Amino acid sequence: MGRLVVLLELSNISKHFGAIQAVNDISLSFEAGQVVGLMGDNGAGKSTLVKMIAGNYRPSHGTMRINGNDIVLHRPIEARQFGIEIVHQDLALCDNLSAAANVFLGRELRRGIGPFRVLDYKAMYRRAGEIFKELRSETRARDLVKQMSGGQRQAVAIARTMISEAKIVLMDEPTAAISVRQVAEVLHLIRELRARGILVVLISHRMPDVFDVADRVVVMRRGRKVADKPIAQTSPEEVTGLITGAIEGG
Amino acid sequence: MATTLDQTIARRQRTLGGAILGSQTFWVLVAVILACLFLSFATDSFATAKNLYNITRNVTFVAIIALGMTLVIITGGIDLSVGSVLCLCSMVLAVTMHAGYGIGTGIAVSVATALVIGAFNGILIAYLGFPPFVVTLGMLSVARSLAMVASNNTVVFEFGPDHDKLLALGGGSTFGVANPVIYMVVLALLTGFVLRWTRIGRYIYAIGGNEQAAMATGLPVRPIKVCVYMISALSAGVAGIIQTGWLGAVTTNIGAGMELQVIAAAVIGGANLAGGAGTAFGALVGAALIEVIRNSLGLLGINAFWQGTFIGSATILAVLFDRIRNFRRSE
Ligand SMILES: Nc1ncnc2c1ncn2[C@@H]1O[C@H](COP(=O)(O)OP(=O)(O)O)[C@@H](O)[C@H]1O
Ligand SMILES: [Mg+2]
């Protein structure tokens, strides 16, 4: 492997909700073009950690750095400006809108000039269709999300990250609710993202998925980081032990 | 494989015709047209120029407020205060003009009142997490009471130096069309445009569809919610101003119970109280159905006490239609 540039750096990040310490003093650094598996039991703090990177939550303590510069994110829009995209665990889609409307939500394409700009339905349908084709997903841009299967919904959520020049894609349990064939498609997509030099943080419960695509695995337990290892230097058994606490990390 | 995937992605799920036949608004429109045809043949007095003029004008007050209400309902909220806000705004206009100020000042003060009330409702709901039902129920009481305070519970029918201008604004007509109808059409086009062609419109639907998702995506959910309650109050205020000009007098009980008609109109027109669905055109069609029912009962010599039964049944029927469609889909 060539030299890798540190893209995203977390230093002593903590987050508490009232008395609950969801994330506790985590330091991590991520490089471009890596797939990092983030594992841990339910409630370990994985979603909270990636939500801080995506600008959904502000850390209670600690700093984040992108390309060596400190950043403070107040809202998801600001994270996106740094090329950070997230696929939420609950997918965060609007059932009453079309696939294309969901893909472009908050970043609608418009046509016209100045204050007279209107939504450009045609362009959004076309572009969303192109992305679904790239994802090799049988998802129609004009369909309402209400009527879609789990895999199609996943494709819509992932397509959201692909309409911009993302540098970091955070995926929270993208393979939890979909069929085996579609899991393969999502993993294929993750490799595709890595090939483009994108950092992918993959939260998953599924050991085979992580060992299939990840370069590195980070394990969290009760808000703390208990392991951070190259995938080649660990095994599913060890990771399972770290997750459950049978093996002490640190 | 590649071509079949292309074809699948490009295929439309439903044709335009299918979309129209599947829409509640379309069937309500059909009901309105059938009712009008029936009444034209069954009575001599329905299809007269005077009656049609009256119907179209009467529709406007409910329809204009139903436009604002539809926005609120699409976001998943409700505004029970519109009838009282109409009353308060009418009264503020009347009292201001009665005190000798011009029509411009009167309208400005009245519109400002509406916006302040809407902002108050919206901020409590969006920023402080109050349930819309509670906040606007409280405002229903407050606004009417303030109207009584403002007028000392008297009838105002002298509007100062611009008296005639106000009456022309609400009671006049242009090219044979009642002025209120023109305002309604303009406001409906504006609302329809915003809903379909602007980001704000899209975000209003997104909030109603999945507020959590809208938040997580970083949409300005709270400001938009404040906005829709302000627009709802404004629509009530505008209807109040026009109605004042038409009636030529304001009492403290105008608009009483109107919130129910307005909500019924929005729901009949396809707005979903669970949020996420509704159109400007639907609001007009719903208001039209209610007015046609009301008008026809009179013409057919049916006791006016039956009015509530018919309007209520129409509301339930319209929603029943939507339920049946959902059942069929989930099978
Ligand atoms: N918005 C929130 N408010 C309060 N507690 C929260 C919130 N989000 C997460 N938590 C708590 O933080 C802990 C970590 O949750 P989470 O990050 O969702 O875990 P994971 O994704 O690893 O399952 C849990 O105890 C959870 O209940
Ligand atoms: Mg989680």
In this predicted model, what pLDDT tens digit does every residue of A114-150 receive, in sequence order? 888 999 999 999 999 998 888 777 889 999 998 888 7
pLDDT top residue among B240 and A89:
B240
Summary mean pLDDT of chain B: 91
Residue A1 has pLDDT above 50, yes or no: no
Which residues of A sit within 8 Å Cβ distance of B? 55-56, 75-77, 80, 88, 90-97, 101, 105-106, 108, 110, 118-119, 129, 132-133, 136, 138-144, 147
Question: Which residues between 243 and 272 in chain B have a beta carbon less than 8 angstroms from any beta carbon of chain A?
Answer: none
Residue B209 has pLDDT above 70, yes or no: yes
> In this complex, do A76 and B11 lie within 8 Å of one another by their Cβ atoms?
no
Supply the pLDDT for residue B329: 59
CA distance A236 to A208: 8
- For residues A9-38, give the mean pLDDT: 94
Supply the pLDDT for residue B322: 72
Residue A4 has pLDDT above 70, yes or no: no
- For residues A191-197, give the mean pLDDT: 86
- Domains in chain A (CATH in brackets) are 6-94+165-244 (3.40.50.300)
Supply the pLDDT for residue B9: 66
- For residue B276, give the chain A residue with the closest CA: A96
Q: Which residues contact B77 (CB under 8 A, 6 or more apart)?
A: B125, B132, B225, B228, B229, B275
Residues of B in contact with A144 (CB under 8 A): 13
Supply the pLDDT for residue A192: 82
Residue B1 has pLDDT above 50, yes or no: no
* Site to substitute for ligand 1 among A48, A51, A204, most atoms within 8 A of C-beta: A48
Query: Could you report the per-residue pLDDT of B107-146, keeping only the tens digit for each?
Result: 999 999 999 999 999 999 999 999 999 999 999 999 999 9
- For residues B235-264, give the mean pLDDT: 94
> In this complex, do A147 and B276 lie within 8 Å of one another by their Cβ atoms?
no
Can you give chain B as a three-state secondary structure string? CHHHHHHHHHCCCCCHHHHHHCCHHHHHHHHHHHHHHHHHHHCCCCCCHHHHHHHHHHHHHHHHHHHHHHHHHHCCCCCCCHHHHHHHHHHHHHHHHHCCCCHHHHHHHHHHHHHHHHHHHHHHHHCCCCCHHHHHHHHHHHHHHHHHHHHCCCCECCCHHHHHHHHHHHHCEECCEEHHHHHHHHHHHHHHHHHHHCHHHHHHHHHHHCHHHHHHCCCCHHHHHHHHHHHHHHHHHHHHHHHHHHHCCECCCCCCCHHHHHHHHHHHCCCCCCCCCCCHHHHHHHHHHHHHHHHHHHHCCCCHHHHHHHHHHHHHHHHHHHHHHHHHHHC
Supply the pLDDT for residue B279: 95
- For residues A153-179, give the mean pLDDT: 85
Residue B216 has pLDDT above 90, yes or no: no
- For residues B92-113, give the mean pLDDT: 96
User: What angle, rounded to 10 degrees, do the helices at B221-247 and B49-74 form?
Assistant: 160
Interval between CA A243 and ligand 2 midpoint (Å): 14
CA distance B8 to A102: 19
Query: Could you report the per-residue pLDDT of B168-201, keeping only the tens digit for each?
Result: 999 888 888 889 999 999 999 999 999 999 999 9
Supply the pLDDT for residue A39: 96
- For residues A221-243, give the mean pLDDT: 93
The pTM (predicted TM-score) of the whole model is: 0.87
- For residues B290-311, give the mean pLDDT: 88
- For residues A217-238, give the mean pLDDT: 94
pLDDT top residue among B232 and B2:
B232
Summary mean pLDDT of chain A: 89
